[in-house]
Amino acid sequence: MTIHVFKRFAFVFLLLVQAVGLCAKDFVLVIDAGHGGHDPGAVGATSKEKDINLRVALAFGRLVEGNCPDVKVVYTRKTDVFVTLNRRAQIANDAKADLFVSIHTNSVAGNKTAKGASTWTLGLAKTQSNLDVAKRENSVILYEDDYKQVYSGFNPYSSESYIIFELMQDQYMEQSVNFASMIQRQFKNYSGRNDRGVHQAGFLVLKASAMPSVLVELGFISTPSEEKYLNTDKGVGSLSRSIYNAFLQYKEEWECKNSNAEPAKVEAAHQERQMAATQSPDAGSDDEALIFKVQFLASSKRLDLDDGSFKGFEQVGCYEDGGMYKYTCYDSADYDYVSRMRREVAKKYKDAFVVAFKDGKRMDINKAIKEFKSKK
């Protein structure tokens, strides 16, 4: 395959981006099962919060995966492992998530009658009991050895620590509260749960995630009848279905909003790609040139351009090799640049690697690097 074919593909790609414009996106959903590993979360008489959270998180994820092919589901954990709070938010940020849902189970010390579900967004706690929920959930950072450094001296049990949430601006508040209300409506109407409402409090995990985000408290593990319900298939099935129903509603609104705002955005992205394509050093200008690219994906099928795999990458190209379609980006004669871009791409595609082409043909990467260095 020659460089000219790459150029042609790039051109066709640009046209297609324009043509499919409005649908050329997907939705990234991050599902965060609270606690895990040596952090059990709240502990009931017969069960642990971490296990309930995970069951509901996986059931919710399965519903989305099974019914929404346009949604990419990312889990912060799928098994019983410990994940730090910052890592959870980082997973969501790296995935450029459109929505973050953290799933938890409530508990009140010395109380065996509290009932119902609540959904929380980031904000300032208005009451002591709201603050207590945030304190309990934030206290998981004490399981991290270096929490004092990592969370800049934040003491989850000290009310003074929560002053940081007073000064904070949350640009996603409206969307988060909107989604939280949808979840509560479903908990009440679909699952028949006691509706404890939408509340705000200073949750570290929500603060660190840069997208609309909510934290769900499914019910009270400290109340025997609730603990029983939360550990049945019926309970898990119904609660996960409620969150899923709310998610569908949220996504529908999101699509409406985005399809109105999209043409300008698509056009800007289109121009950006064109600029990148014309400015890239030597890309396609000379068949003799040695070109490096980041290869990030291989597929036996030609991929739909609207599946979101290409989102955010520049100079995306494709070549056929051994019956596979291989997808590349960031073409350049400068190996150092491509190598840097590989690290960026690897945040999304961890197996991304650098490939080299000469005269439009794949060449041995080690030889190519040697040649690049000898000419430097």
Return residues touching Zn ion (CB under 5 A).
34, 41, 104, 137
Of 34 and 202, nearer to Zn ion (C-beta) is: 34
Of 36 and 308, nearer to Zn ion (C-beta) is: 36
Closest contact distance (angstroms) between CB of 77 and Zn ion is 13
Separation of alpha carbons 200 and 120, rounded Å: 5
Closest contact distance (angstroms) between CB of 233 and Zn ion is 22
Of 95 and 140, nearer to Zn ion (C-beta) is: 140
Closest contact distance (angstroms) between CB of 179 and Zn ion is 19
Of 34 and 156, nearer to Zn ion (C-beta) is: 34
Of 44 and 308, nearer to Zn ion (C-beta) is: 44
Closest contact distance (angstroms) between CB of 49 and Zn ion is 5
Closest contact distance (angstroms) between CB of 103 and Zn ion is 8
Name the residue with the smallest CB distance to Zn ion: 104
Closest contact distance (angstroms) between CB of 53 and Zn ion is 7
Of 119 and 295, nearer to Zn ion (C-beta) is: 119
Of 39 and 306, nearer to Zn ion (C-beta) is: 39
Would residue 202 be called left, alpha or beta, if left means φ above 0 and alpha means ψ between -120 and 50 degrees? beta
Closest contact distance (angstroms) between CB of 285 and Zn ion is 56
